[in-house]
Amino acid sequence: MKPIRLEIPRVASGLNGSGGLKNMHYRNYGKLRDSWQLEIRSLTNAKIKGRVSIDYTRSSVVAMDWDNLCASFKVIGDALVANGIIEDDNPEIVVEFRPHWRKAKNNKDLITIIEITPL
């Protein structure tokens, strides 16, 4: 099976700030998760069984700390599992997780790129 590449023209929330995951009410998190789930479902119905490697690229105007960048994948990982694209997001299934950050020119150029490679 070949890798799956998803390009989404927005970025996920990090931990901090008023819209951050740390301060988010669980109902708001559910709505956010559902919106990512629907968007990802509209891009692919592919499913990968077994172990995978994930490259996660967040292109934004301001760089995040590494821990915050990785945390921003939370809602996306949950959406990948809910859609059955990957079996689970635990370390037994996601054997390699590589976060990347790229500078976006402005807020109109925000993008999330997720590359999932079967192992």
Homologous superfamily (CATH) of 4-118 is Holliday junction resolvase RusA (3.30.1330.70)
57 closest CA partner among 118, 12, 3, 24: 12
Tell me which amino acid residue 119 is: L
Could you tell me the residue ranges of all domains in the chain?
Answer: 4-118
Tens-digit pLDDT profile for residues 12-65 = 988 787 677 877 788 988 898 899 999 999 999 999 999 999 999 999 999 999
pLDDT digits (tens, 9 = 90+) for 98-108: 999 999 999 99
Please state whether beta strands 4-8 and 111-118 pair in parallel, antiparallel, or not at all (unpaired): antiparallel
